[in-house]
């Protein structure tokens, strides 16, 4: 990964076709949302030769509450030849357990790339536009209805567009998951502060992240540096708002950052899907956060968004080419099968590890921060050389799970 700088303030310029005779324009594929899931879906559908429109309610670049950590699987899922704009490359991890038992581990090779999501998402969307997708930004999709072998989308400005297939990639608070009927069995609240810091503080964090295993079951906090700004965040199961805010306050205070005024403070829910939840309804497929596809333990979602977005875009391109409901349903089932075999398998492993972490945070801290084998496993997972799912299939891991009651 190398650093690159997209042209500041430029917008992809693609002419939308004229809406003649007051008839809505019919697109092959409309993608709702220009995050990593939507951009990947649009790119895949455009590369399959489809006429694609991406609609986002925000104007790009737009802020997204996110650490911006790009681990190996996310890097591996980027479009070929795409160079993400990277703010920092991480080789050192500082681990703490509720602020104590500090241990710094380093690696000879890059562990995590850190991106500013506004720049990253804009660059990814531009790659989709370069592949032929049109972009309509600053307009929300307010209504979805399926009729007459297509999908009708009503935009916030009252305009209506039609599509032969739709990818819902409108994030965890979007409309498409409700339309498709996605249900969730894990909802977490993530809080973050973007803290501009003086050069000497930025220098301390360059190339280094902090991971603090937190005081609430399943919680953890982080510092992800982006040059002269530190992203400090925490994540916890929903329903403990005050305790989650207190954790972030304590973390910032403990790190000596309380004296610097955050430029942005924000919160966002992350949601993991129930295993049985649908991923499509008729001609509408969901991807990324809209589908509840997210790693349950780490709540890493960029690789899930990129991977599911690409699959959704490819399947939506197929849906756009068929007429009968039976064929559409078959493609939806294929999409479900593909997701289940890949991301579904990884989510099952993540749920198991979250359970262990909730009950034994100190044990996991010691394993990762102190044991050479644990640190090696951590490196292999974040670099994408193995997965939690692969690890849990090993006999030794099964024995540990048995001992920890899983
Ligand atoms: C605090 C926090 C920290 C995180 N840190 C990391 C991390 O370090 N690494 C990692 O891998 N993951 C992280 N995640 C998860 C990651 O941010 C998400 O999984 C990822 O952004 C999902 O991408 P997406 O494309 O599905 O959705 P999003 O990135 O949310 O994009 C959805 C898009 O849809 C648009 N939209 C919404 N509604 C509409 C509408 N009605 N019409 C049109 N457009 C609409 C939005 O404007 C937005 O652009 C973090 C999450 C949180 C909450």
Asked whether the predicted pLDDT for residue 13 surpasses 70, the reply is: no
Nearest CA to ligand 1 atom 3: 66
Give the β-pairing of 52-56 and 100-106: unpaired
CA gap 273, 276 in Å, rounded: 8
Task: Count, in order, helices (H) and strands (E) of the chain.
Answer: 13, 18
Residue 290 CA, closest ligand 1 atom number: 26
Q: Tell me, what's the pLDDT at 7?
A: 32
Ligand 1 pocket, Cβ-based, cut-off 6 angstroms: 32-38, 55-58, 62, 64-69, 74, 140-141, 169-171, 174-175, 190, 192, 233, 235, 268, 270, 288-290, 294, 299-302, 305
Instruction: Output the CA 223–ligand 1 centroid distance in Å.
Output: 19
Give the β-pairing of 141-147 and 69-70: unpaired
8 Å CB contact between 52 and 134:
yes
Q: What is the DSSP letter of 229?
A: E
Q: Tell me, what's the pLDDT at 71?
A: 98
pLDDT digits (tens, 9 = 90+) for 28-39: 999 999 999 999
Nearest alpha carbon to residue 316 among 277, 272, 281, 340: 281
More confident residue, 52 or 399: 52
Instruction: Output the CA 366–ligand 1 centroid distance in Å.
Output: 32
Asked whether the predicted pLDDT for residue 347 surpasses 70, the reply is: yes
Instruction: Compute φ and ψ for 106, nearest 5 degrees.
Output: -130, 160
Asked whether the predicted pLDDT for residue 203 surpasses 90, the reply is: yes
Nearest alpha carbon to residue 70 among 110, 114, 39: 114
Asked whether the predicted pLDDT for residue 16 surpasses 90, the reply is: no
Asked whether the predicted pLDDT for residue 18 surpasses 80, the reply is: no
Cα dihedral 51, 167, 74, 374, rounded to 10, equals -160
Instruction: Please provide the average confidence, as pLDDT, over all residues in the chain.
Output: 93
Nearest alpha carbon to residue 304 among 352, 346, 349: 346
8 Å CB contact between 180 and 271:
no
Q: Tell me, what's the pLDDT at 405?
A: 61
Which of 1-10, 15-24, 247-256 has the highest mean predicted lDDT (pLDDT)?
247-256
How far from each other are the two terminal CA atoms of the chain, in whole angstroms?
Answer: 37
- Residue linked to tokens 């949302």: 33
pLDDT digits (tens, 9 = 90+) for 72-118: 999 999 999 999 999 999 999 999 999 999 999 999 999 999 999 99
8 Å CB contact between 31 and 38:
yes
Instruction: Output the CA 64–ligand 1 centroid distance in Å.
Output: 6
pTM greater than the 0.85 cutoff: yes
Instruction: Output the CA 18–ligand 1 centroid distance in Å.
Output: 31
Q: Tell me, what's the pLDDT at 10?
A: 34
Residue 175 CA, closest ligand 1 atom number: 41
Q: Tell me, what's the pLDDT at 204?
A: 97
Give the β-pairing of 150-155 and 141-147: antiparallel
Q: Tell me, what's the pLDDT at 395?
A: 74
Instruction: Output the CA 65–ligand 1 centroid distance in Å.
Output: 7
Rounded to 10°, the helix 325-339/302-319 angle is 160
Give the β-pairing of 52-56 and 26-32: parallel
| Confidence grade of residue 12 (pLDDT, cut at 50, 70, 90) | very low
Instruction: Output the CA 99–ligand 1 centroid distance in Å.
Output: 28
pLDDT digits (tens, 9 = 90+) for 150-195: 999 999 989 999 999 999 999 999 999 999 999 999 999 999 999 9
pLDDT digits (tens, 9 = 90+) for 262-285: 999 999 999 999 999 999 999 999
Asked whether the predicted pLDDT for residue 11 surpasses 60, the reply is: no
| Confidence grade of residue 17 (pLDDT, cut at 50, 70, 90) | low
Instruction: Output the CA 201–ligand 1 centroid distance in Å.
Output: 28
Residue 34 CA, closest ligand 1 atom number: 49
Mean pLDDT along residues 25-52 = 97
Tokens representing residue 212 in the block: 């603090």
């Amino acid at each position: 990964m190398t650093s690159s700088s997209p042209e500041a303030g430029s917008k992809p310029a693609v002419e939308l076709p004229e809406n003649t005779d007051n008839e809505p324009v019919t697109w092959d594929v409309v993608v709702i949302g220009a995050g990593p899931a939507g951009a990947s879906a649009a790119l895949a559908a455009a590369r399959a030769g489809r006429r694609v429109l991406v609609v986002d309610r925000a104007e790009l670049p737009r802020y997204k509450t996110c650490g911006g950590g790009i681990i190996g699987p996310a890097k591996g899922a980027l479009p070929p030849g795409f160079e993400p704009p990277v703010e920092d490359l991480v080789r050192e991890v500082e681990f703490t357990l509720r602020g104590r038992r500090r241990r710094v581990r380093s690696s000879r090779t890059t562990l995590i790339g850190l991106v500013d999501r506004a720049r990253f998402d804009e660059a990814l969307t531009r790659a989709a536009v370069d592949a032929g997708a049109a972009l309509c930004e600053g307009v929300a999709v307010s209504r979805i209805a399926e009729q007459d072998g297509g999908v009708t989308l009503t935009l916030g400005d009252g305009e209506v567009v039609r599509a032969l297939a739709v990818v819902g990639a409108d994030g965890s608070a979007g409309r498409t998951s409700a339309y498709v009927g996605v249900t969730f069995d894990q909802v977490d609240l993530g809080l973050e502060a973007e803290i501009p810091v003086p050069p000497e503080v930025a220098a301390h964090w360059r190339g280094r992240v902090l991971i603090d295993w937190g005081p609430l079951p399943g919680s953890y906090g982080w510092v992800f540096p982006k040059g002269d700004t530190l992203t400090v965040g925490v994540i916890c199961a929903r329903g403990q708002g005050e305790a989650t805010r207190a954790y972030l306050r304590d973390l910032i205070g403990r790190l000596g950052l309380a004296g610097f005024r955050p430029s942005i403070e924000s919160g966002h829910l992350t949601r993991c899907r129930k295993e049985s939840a649908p991923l499509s309804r008729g001609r509408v497929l969901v991807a990324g956060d809209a589908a509840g596809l997210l790693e349950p333990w780490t709540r890493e979602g960029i690789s899930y968004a990129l991977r599911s977005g690409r699959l959704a875009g490819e399947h939506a391109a197929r849906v756009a080419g068929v007429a009968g409901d039976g064929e559409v349903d078959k493609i939806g089932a294929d999409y479900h099968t593909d997701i289940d075999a890949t991301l579904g398998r990884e989510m099952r492993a993540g749920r198991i590890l979250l359970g262990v972490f909730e009950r034994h945070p100190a044990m996991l801290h010691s394993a990762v921060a102190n044991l050479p084998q644990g640190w090696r496993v951590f490196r292999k997972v974040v670099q994408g050389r193995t997965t939690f799912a692969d690890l849990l299939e090993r006999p030794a891991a099964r024995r540990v799970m048995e001992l920890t009651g899983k």
